[in-house]
Structures are given as structure tokens and as C-alpha cells.
Amino acid sequence: MEQQTAKPTEREKGVEKKSTLQRTPLLAGNWKMYKTVSESEALAKELKQLVAGVSGREILICPPSINLTKVSEIIMGTNICLGAQNLHWANEGAFTGELSGPMIKAAGCKYVIIGHSERRQYFGETDKIVNDKMNAALKAGLFPIVCVGETLEEREANNHFKVVERQIRDGVSNLVKEDYLKLVIAYEPVWAIGTGKTASPAQAQEMHAFIRKILSQIYNEPLAQKTRILYGGSVKPDNIDSLMSQPDIDGGLVGGASLKAADFSRIVAYQAA
Ligand code: PGA
């Protein structure tokens, strides 16, 4: 009988395709504080047409909260899902101007963005607040997208890994398995947001692999392999293909380019090498 020699698996060779890793790519549009209700309606309608034939990836839009209900009606039953950009950590209460997880869920959202660098920078959100908000989101039945990322100063001082490790350890530890599986991480280097300066695919991949390593230390390797890690920061139609070709980049969190249906639909239709 012919002797079979054990060949290294694709995984061991480091060339396993993302599609075999059970991580459905997620392309998320963060509309930030842009678009009135009628403008949101028009953008959602246009996008709905352009992405109608797309499958094998999850498409998400996060309009301003005041427009969630309207947009929810427009995308109901399509391949686009809805998310909010922020939530409060309490279920309800005397918190003027805030929105709770149950309210966001009831408006038709599946996801909520938490700890975006703009929230950290302008609204004083700490890792503790991020952690509280993540727990509130999970309690309300929402999938949290927790944002991490270093500033230019921190990268130049070579502290980027330390900063991101702290944001991950303090922000997303102590989850039970069922909740952990709902977590999405978005790596968004602050110096790349809205600046037109994207991290190179290699720079992004390096940090994504590092984040996955930290997650495997906090949880375990098989769970960390299931977690989607999105890249954000000047994602555009002309750089999405090379970003998505990296083994640990599982999607994008897109700001400016998500405000134009043609650009965002091209991003959604990325082709990874
Ligand atoms: P940008 O924003 O794509 O405009 O750089 C990304 C984000 O802040 O999520």
C-alpha cells in the first residue's frame, strides 16, 4: 500500500482562505452626523437598488439615530441591515438626549457602533464606558462593533500595539461565549480617519493579526478565529480590494465613502485576491 505523507494544511501554511474560516465579511457604512431624514431616505433607496444582487457578505448602514425608523422601513426585507452609531449604557432613565439599547433595537437595528474615536475624543468615552456600553448592547440583543485605534502621536512613539491592547483588554474582556460570538471589532487608526491617509494593507494586517492574538489570549484561539475584525480609516473604492485581500481583515467600517451610494456599493462589491 502506498504510504501517505502528511502534508501541511492550508491553515498551517498560513494561506487558508477567509471564506473557510466562517467569518462572513461585513461592510459597514457610518454616516456620522450627515443626512437629514429625506436625504437618508434617498441614499438608502439608491443603495438598495445598487446592492440588490450582492450575497455572501453582510451590508450594514448606520444613519443618524433620528433617521433610523425611516431607513428601517426602506431596507426592510433587503440584504442591508441597520445599525446605530452610539447608545447609552442604561436601559432607561433620566439621561437627557440619550438613547438606550432597547430603543435602538426597537427601531430595527441589529448592530451598534461603540467607542468610535470621535466619541472617545470629543465626548470623553473611556475604555470603561466602552465596556459598559458593549454590555448594554448585548443585553438589548444588539451586536456591538467596538472601535479601537491609536492616534498619530501614539504610533510615532511606537506605542500603537500597547494602546490597542489596552483598549481591547479593558473594553471587551469578561464576555460569556454566546455574547462574545456577537462581538465585532473595528480597527480604526485615528490618523487615517477622514484624512485620506489609509493604513497600508500590510500595516492594517499587522494590527489585525495582533488584535486576534490578544483575543485568543483573553478568550481562546478557536473563538478568536471566529471574530470579525473590520478596518476603518479612509476606506475607498480604490483601496478596498487590497485591504480585503489580507487574511485578518474581515470587512470595513466606512465613513465618507458610505455617503455616496455608488462608492459604497463598489466597496460592498469588493473582490479580494
Ligand atoms: P472615513 O471614516 O472612512 O471617513 O475615514 C471612517 C470612520 O470614522 O468610521
Domain with 263 in it: what CATH number? 3.20.20.70
Residue 51 lies in a domain: yes
- Our answer on whether the CB atom of 194 is closer than 6 Å to any ligand 1 atom is yes
- Our answer on whether the CB atom of 232 is closer than 6 Å to any ligand 1 atom is yes
> Which ligand 1 atom minimizes the distance to the CA of 256?
4
Residue whose C-alpha cell is 439615530: 65
Closest CA to 165 of 123, 209, 121, 197: 209
Residue 1 lies in a domain: no
Residue 23 lies in a domain: no
Centre of ligand 1 to C-alpha 234, Å, is 6
Q: Residue 53: which domain range?
A: 29-100+112-268
> What's the DSSP call for residue 200?
P
Overall number of domains in the chain: 1
Q: What is the pTM of this model?
A: 0.93
d(CA 271, CA 194): 23
d(CA 238, CA 188): 18
Residue 118 lies in a domain: yes
d(CA 142, CA 83): 9
Strand intervals (E) in the chain: 26-30, 58-62, 80-84, 111-114, 143-148, 184-187, 228-232, 251-254
> Which ligand 1 atom minimizes the distance to the CA of 186?
9
Residue 17 lies in a domain: no
Residue 106 lies in a domain: no
Residue 107 lies in a domain: no
Residue 254 lies in a domain: yes
pLDDT tens digits in sequence order for the chain, 273 residues long: 444 445 555 544 444 556 556 799 999 999 999 999 999 999 999 999 999 999 999 999 999 999 999 999 999 999 999 999 999 999 999 999 999 999 999 999 999 999 999 999 999 999 999 999 999 999 999 999 999 999 999 999 999 999 999 999 999 999 999 999 999 999 999 999 888 888 899 999 999 999 999 999 999 999 999 999 999 999 999 999 999 999 999 999 999 999 999 999 999 999 998
- Our answer on whether the CB atom of 255 is closer than 6 Å to any ligand 1 atom is yes
* 3-state class (DSSP) for residue 184: strand
- C-alpha grid cell, residue 120: 472617545
CA atoms within 13 A on the CB side of 206: 8
Spatial CB neighbours of 248, under 8 Å, sequence gap ≥ 6: 205, 208, 209, 211, 212, 229
- C-alpha grid cell, residue 249: 481583515
